[in-house]
Structure 1
Amino acid sequence: MKIFHIISGLGVGGAETLLLNLVSESRIAGETHVVISLSAIDKMADRLRAAGAEVRFLGMRSGVPNPLLLIRLARWIVEARPDVVQTWMYHADIFGGVAVLLARLMFRLSRQRHRFVLVWGIHRTEVPTRKVGRVLNTLARMGAATSNRLPDSVICCANASFRTHVEYGYERTKMRVIHNGFDVRKFVPDATARTALLNELGLPPASILIGIVGRSNPAKDYDNFLRAAAMLHQRVPECHFVMVGKDVDASNKVLARTMNELGLGGVCHLLGARNDLHRIMPAFDMLCLSSRTEGLPTVVGEAMACSVPCVVTDVGDTGQLVGDTGLVVPPRDPVSLSDALEQMATLSLEQRKTLGRLARERIVESFSITVCWQQYRDMYTTLLRAKGVTR
């Protein structure tokens, strides 16, 4: 099976990580992947190539799309002769959808008989309002208006995403949920990681390491996390807060000011963006997710795969992901978040280890990339058979 992916860009994010994991997992079965980035963002490109994908860049810029680039994209589809065109997120759904229409026209004009399917991908819970961004809002409205006839199917990464987009006007009969899958071979428990991170940070062995991973963005609600951390620090002073993500570093003046105002300067450790999360995650005594919105958060699944129990806000399908292996609290509620972190921090080491073991078992059984890819492949096969194509 040849799958032609179209994605907005190849920065480091949840959808991009899922794409990489799917390419890596399906390579074992001999599937072929072509990945087209609409923009020039290329941080994941080398990793995708190493996983066996062909990677190209269309070079779109922000603003009104260049129709010549859409024609080029359509020609790339025709040249590739894929079985599946899989788009990722709103920009790619719409621009990729237009390119597919052009490609099908090119096939007909050249009298080539080639059948393939178009599958859209939705990787956020809330439909973007005009306040969030006019372009995103316009694309979402276009998606809702054309979802009954343009794509063959629409994948949502979470049940919450399914509900909000159906309510917005997306065609219910085209929609299905496939939860993100996590790499349980890369993200594994590591008994040496905690000592290594304590030494790196210069902290005593009795410290309790609470990790949070995510870029500096209002959706991640670092303010919620820091206010909860300040309350917790007064009650459990052994807690240290390890913060990892793009722009989560000493140059972030907003974070620095909030930490100083809350008296957290000595217990917050800002590591910035890291490419060794699989080595850092197992060091945490727990992971915190303080977000206002999510679909199915990658960092929570990866932490659980490392046998790290999680304290999370009840956004998207995060509560379903964690199940009874961690603690779930309302979003935008630092008091409840602080109380849950304290509850986890005051468990015995053995109690936290038990929760961590159950967390990994849950990911392996229900949310591994192997399970996820099989669901994608089964869906592709069903859609192709409906068009008279067998693979």
Structure 2
Amino acid sequence: MTKVLHVITGLASGGAERQLATLLPHLPEDCEVVCLTEGGLVGERIRAEGFRVHDLRMPSNRDVASLMALVRLIRDGGFDVVHTHLYRAHLYGRLAARMAGVRAIVATEHSLGRTKIEGKPKDLLGVRALYRASERMGRVTIAVSQTVADYLRAWRIDRVEVIENGIDAREFRFDAEARTLVRKMLGLDAEAFVIGGVGRLDPDKHFEVLIQAVSRIAGAILLLVGAGPDRARLQRMAADLLPGRAHFAGDVGGGVLEIRDLLSAMDVFASPSPSETFGLAPLEAVACGLPAVYADSPALDGLSGLGARAARVPSRPDAFALAIRDAARLRPVDRSAPPGTLERYGVAEQAAHISDLYREVLLAQ
């Protein structure tokens, strides 16, 4: 059986990390995962699924010892394919694979946006030069959306295959009991109007727009799910604009609560990020039967048949407040069955395409 090592920068609860955890059980290859930096809830979830996870715990970007440890891991593990995810993993994973004698190298680009890649200015000379140099060591880069593919080609990276992210819609199916439980845990009335967001609490996600928008809707409750460096600032803003009406759930998944449980407790989902490369969180919200208001989401833009249940608006408080009020009228609909159009993003089909790509790069050696 083909052995594949997935190399990822970290395994905290981000979109790329959760996407890897969703994908792994559907790949027919013998897969292991190595995390360059910190582990986290997603790492625990992957281990719980029965996959081996290695933590290198790199202390810095210039840690040669960790690079050599990765080389030994690839060589000693007898891996046929190395598949990298996220910027630092692309740089170290491709180099380590070549040093270990593995030439079947695949990368998935999750985070190359309009102006940044993982928080770094994407046109910063060093960032782009390192990315392009490491790309030459690999065979192909998977773009998670056509938008990402266009950005890659603008960087003169031509060995690109578009394989969109996938979800298991059943994983996010609305759960009435979870809705009741979460609202009880948060001290919320059953009839409270809850507006939610999910994502890394990072300035690039623009959650301050959502806080300002909710402050304009009388009696509305804000529920933010995720962790990140912007949490303290957002909590201060919420304490000022939404006293007693904002809840920060932190990272979830792998414990008592899953993201599906928090989504079930919401009435409207909102994503104010203006530069998403795919938009996994809005897609998961739609799978949970929620109306979604979003600033940017190639995933939802690629779906038809959602009608008023998905509204794209500018990332401004006034626009979001207006769209959320409109979405509030959609609350009585049945949330138990996700839209059939979500079949486009079925994770089993995504896994089949990636497995085919592994075979192609192995044959090309």
TM-score bin, normalised by smaller chain:
0.7 to 0.9
Q: CA deviation at 1:270?
A: 2.6
Are the counterparts in 2 of residues 248 and 272 from structure 1 also a CA contact under 8 Å? no
Q: CA deviation at 1:65?
A: 3.0
Equivalent positions of 1:247-326 (< 5 A) are: 252-262=231-241, 264-275=242-253, 276=257, 277-320=259-302, 324-325=306-307, 326=309
Q: Which residue of 2 aligns with 1:76?
A: 73
Q: Distance in 2 between matches of 1:43 and 1:274?
A: 7
Are 2:125 and 1:142 equivalent residues in the alignment?
A: no
Q: CA deviation at 1:342?
A: 0.9
Structure 1's 208 and 303: CA in aligned 2 closer, same or farther, altered over 3 A?
Answer: same
Q: Which residue of 2 aligns with 1:203?
A: 188
Q: Which residue of 1 aligns with 2:150?
A: 163
Q: Deviations over 1:16-51 (max 9, x none)?
A: 11111122223xx4x211211122434433322222
Letter aligned with residue 202 of structure 2:
N
Q: Distance in 2 between matches of 1:7 and 1:253?
A: 27
Equivalent positions of 1:235-254 (< 5 A) are: 237=219, 239-246=220-227, 252-254=231-233
Which residue among 223, 238, 247 is the counterpart of 2:208? 223
Q: Distance in 1 between matches of 2:235 and 2:313?
A: 25
Q: Distance in 2 between matches of 1:131 and 1:284?
A: 28
Q: Which residue of 2 aligns with 1:120?
A: 107
Q: CA deviation at 1:331?
A: 4.1
Equivalent positions of 1:1-391 (< 5 A) are: 1-26=2-27, 29=28, 31-66=29-64, 68-104=65-101, 117-126=104-113, 132-133=119-120, 137=124, 138-147=126-135, 149-169=136-156, 171-172=157-158, 174-233=159-218, 237=219, 239-246=220-227, 252-262=231-241, 264-275=242-253, 276=257, 277-320=259-302, 324-325=306-307, 326-347=309-330, 349-350=332-333, 353=334, 356=335, 359-363=338-342, 365-387=343-365
User: SS state of the match for residue 82, structure 2?
Assistant: strand
Structure 1's 330 and 201: CA in aligned 2 closer, same or farther, altered over 3 A?
Answer: same
Identity of aligned residues (%): 27
Structure 1's 131 and 197: CA in aligned 2 closer, same or farther, altered over 3 A?
Answer: closer
Are the counterparts in 1 of residues 291 and 330 from structure 2 also a CA contact under 8 Å? no
Letter aligned with residue 294 of structure 1:
E
Are the counterparts in 1 of residues 173 and 338 from structure 2 also a CA contact under 8 Å? no
Structure 1's 313 and 127: CA in aligned 2 closer, same or farther, altered over 3 A?
Answer: closer
Are the counterparts in 2 of residues 322 and 359 from structure 1 also a CA contact under 8 Å? no
- Structure with higher Rg: it is 1
Q: Deviations over 1:255-312 (max 9, x none)?
A: 34323443x2133223233332222212222211111322223322222222222111
Letter aligned with residue 36 of structure 1:
V
Q: Distance in 1 between matches of 2:207 and 2:193?
A: 19
User: SS state of the match for residue 215, structure 2?
Assistant: helix
- Tell me the number of residue pairs that the alignment of Structure 1 and Structure 2 aligns: 358
Q: Deviations over 1:87-138 (max 9, x none)?
A: 111111111111122112xxxxxxxxxx751011211132665995489953
Q: CA deviation at 1:188?
A: 1.5
Q: Distance in 2 between matches of 1:65 and 1:313?
A: 38
User: SS state of the match for residue 231, structure 1?
Assistant: coil
Q: CA deviation at 1:343?
A: 0.8
Are the counterparts in 2 of residues 182 and 369 from structure 1 also a CA contact under 8 Å? yes
Q: CA deviation at 1:231?
A: 2.2
Q: Distance in 2 between matches of 1:271 and 1:248?
A: 15
Q: Distance in 2 between matches of 1:315 and 1:297?
A: 4
User: Which of structure 1's runs of 4+ aligned residues deviate more than 6 A?
Assistant: none
User: SS state of the match for residue 195, structure 2?
Assistant: strand
Q: Unaligned regions of 5+ residues in structure 2, if any?
A: none
Q: Distance in 2 between matches of 1:125 and 1:357?
A: 34
Q: Unaligned regions of 5+ residues in structure 1, if any?
A: 105-114
